[in-house]
Structure 1
């Protein structure tokens, strides 16, 4: 077994029992020395686990850390691809940056990078995603789908649907999706998605799905420089959300939806995205940097473009920009 597998097995043995587990028993069951057992116990304590040790009795797990770590996330995680393997960091510049480098170096599909905090979280169009530690979920997932580069935007919709489903399963809140990559609660941004791709002309080498969710952060922690109103699940629901449960549920939803995407294509995902997006049939304003116009949103095409009907009937496809509903 690898070092990580031994750690996971020790935790499983602690949880399977109702009391102390002797060092001798751990040594025998794991096939390692008593010295190695002690080394792993020290490592788990350093990772935040509270483990009691009593002479002639052995060890007992008292409490697990409140941080997101690979042992707790992997426990009971039943996914085919997503989260296998899993890297959890205390802090990093950006989980997308780490995952992108890992993918370039050959990391397998389904690899997930999660961080407690980010010092330079990435948002769309080069914007910053504020990432205070210990309160939210910041994760990136490596995928290697057999699709063309122009179809990769479909994975953004997959991410948005997965986040919306997870919010519904872990809270009493009702999320909505805003084109192209935001999830809202009561009109305020609670999650953002940033997918980055490495591709050739007709082949996607890999896509990194970047997902940031404001789980238990207070809006006051996000500062006063936000472009759009922001919120968190805590702010909207009034109670703290179990981040571990939220992370595991999200990975399971991503795994299910990605498996369906590979088997059935993007149509089911796009249909669910449209059900959750309040934009279709409504008047919207569109800002693309050098242009600003209004029209009626008619849906999205298979490449992720927003279809906007202009006055006069011509339909324009918007591939990037900021879109907002217009009060009528």
Structure 2
């Protein structure tokens, strides 16, 4: 009910009386007041004046459904947005609720206390400084093709950033970089049995409005934020909707004949590694090679001294010799 009251406060220019709200929703004025108090607790600035009613003064910098629904234009992704002030990990929560929630459900949090990146690395997730969300998908496809969805997530973030006027590159398979520093990461996890996918979780973390001082000292050579690189604060709500819109667009192509042409085109055009000499790290072994391209299965093609090889998602980390890419 508080969401409906918020909608009405958004619609009017000025005060809306408690009596009118009470009549419209069939609630007592005391009940209306309780919902208004709940909205205030969420961070909405609402002025209350006797015999005038309520007036929405300002909305908080939060990324719940109420704040993005007017700019969210999706068919599947974002069919439900579950918002939290704080979570250990959006991927963890998404996995816990995936069985009882529809495809396209998004779990988003203002901060993560135990955010995770690829290979179990920690993802620093300060409150209201970034975007931390996970999308539940349930495609009817073979589990062997799921690795492509990591590229789908990377392409969605790259194009979502471009919609905000920000250029970036994709470090295959799951990192987004700007000027050689990581600004976002994608963590894809799958639950399946007997060759059937139960669900896939695509987790996305983006460093949005962290200052240089808010980036851990030991990460400043390899990590950055959109604020640092663009020298302007970024509207997190607009970016959140932009990435979800792009993710939905590419996912619709995927489930309609597993079309990945646009995603692969973006990953090739915006690649941070194609044509570069790199170090491929597999377990405790590392080899120097030259990245030739990305094949139609989304796998990296690398030429080593022993010849051309296919590098599979989830098996490698890639670094240039003297810097992070």
Scaled by the length of structure 1, the TM-score of the pair is 0.92
Compute the RMSD of aligned alpha carbons: 1.8
1:41 and 1:28, CA in 2 relative to 1: closer, same or farther beyond 3 A?
same
Give the whole-Å Cα distance in 1 for the aligned partners of 2:8 and 2:293: 52
CA apart distance, 1:100 = 0.7
Give the whole-Å Cα distance in 1 for the aligned partners of 2:288 and 2:112: 36
CA apart distance, 1:218 = 1.9
CA apart distance, 1:253 = 1.3
Counterpart for residue 68 of structure 1: 63
Give the whole-Å Cα distance in 2 for the aligned partners of 1:179 and 1:99: 24
CA apart distance, 1:235 = 0.3
- The question of 1:117 aligning with 2:111 is answered yes
- What are the superposed Cα offsets for residues 135-165 of structure 1, whole Å, 9 maximum, x if unpaired? 1111111000111111111111111111111
- The question of 1:188 aligning with 2:184 is answered no
User: Runs of 5+ in structure 1 lacking a partner?
Assistant: 1-5
Aligned ranges 1:21-40 → 2 under 5 Å = 21-40=16-35
CA apart distance, 1:238 = 0.5
Deviates more, 1:137-146 or 1:312-321: 312-321
CA apart distance, 1:17 = 1.5
Could you tell me whether the CA contact under 8 Å between 1:150 and 1:303 is conserved in 2?
no
CA apart distance, 1:133 = 1.1
Aligned mate of 1:244, from 228, 237, 245: 237
- What are the superposed Cα offsets for residues 43-101 of structure 1, whole Å, 9 maximum, x if unpaired? 11111111111122111111111222332123442221112211111111111101110
Could you tell me whether the CA contact under 8 Å between 1:215 and 1:233 is conserved in 2?
yes
Counterpart for residue 217 of structure 2: 224
Give the whole-Å Cα distance in 1 for the aligned partners of 2:27 and 2:251: 39
Counterpart for residue 3 of structure 1: none
Give the whole-Å Cα distance in 2 for the aligned partners of 1:79 and 1:254: 9
Could you tell me whether the CA contact under 8 Å between 1:219 and 1:230 is conserved in 2?
no
Counterpart for residue 94 of structure 2: 99
1:207 and 1:313, CA in 2 relative to 1: closer, same or farther beyond 3 A?
same
Give the secondary structure class of the aligned counterpart of 2:77: coil
Could you tell me whether the CA contact under 8 Å between 1:162 and 1:253 is conserved in 2?
yes
1:259 and 1:63, CA in 2 relative to 1: closer, same or farther beyond 3 A?
same
1:76 and 1:186, CA in 2 relative to 1: closer, same or farther beyond 3 A?
closer
Scaled by the length of structure 2, the TM-score of the pair is 0.93
Aligned ranges 1:276-287 → 2 under 5 Å = 276-287=270-281
Give the whole-Å Cα distance in 2 for the aligned partners of 1:154 and 1:232: 26
Aligned ranges 1:1-328 → 2 under 5 Å = 6-103=1-98, 105-171=99-165, 173-226=166-219, 229-265=222-258, 266-319=260-313, 320-325=315-320
Aligned length: 320
Give the secondary structure class of the aligned counterpart of 2:16: coil
1:302 and 1:207, CA in 2 relative to 1: closer, same or farther beyond 3 A?
farther
Deviates more, 1:225-234 or 1:193-202: 225-234
Give the whole-Å Cα distance in 1 for the aligned partners of 2:186 and 2:35: 37
Could you tell me whether the CA contact under 8 Å between 2:277 and 2:289 is conserved in 1?
yes
